[in-house]
Chain A
């Protein structure tokens, strides 16, 4: 079941903040966030593994609300380098112990000067 991301696209001026949401209709075990720049491979940002967990990475942080089956990515004081498409990937338990990530359709973020 593909997670739903919102918004689909957002344009920011340098220094502005943004929130990207990721929600699932299925119970989640983990949420992964990746950023992909045009023509490049997706690059890992962070993993959230349990409900209520928050993580930070420079000025990019995320939260995971297991009960609501959703995660949010927070970008503060955005920089030009933050431009790209952000994907959330969700994982669920399987008998084999791990699950392949199912990715959302992505949120295209453009930061302008």
Chain B
């Protein structure tokens, strides 16, 4: 079974700083997707960024980028020029495409606080 580990329960940075959230995963599969989701106080899950495992290029979405190290099974999220609205829980998630059921396996989450 796949597992996802987020080793940072909480992080806090000043507004405009850059912050990196860590995520590692364990799988024997070769074909999968990785995601970062944001859950603000409203508790609505919001997709931040996704990475297909077969792509070597790291995904980027505006201020959000990932560092995908397939051999190391690492998938960190970098938030540049952090904003107060980035304050939220962040979940790393794994999806094994081989199984066909598209099940998401979530990490434990990192609570990120952006301070003014």
A binds B: no
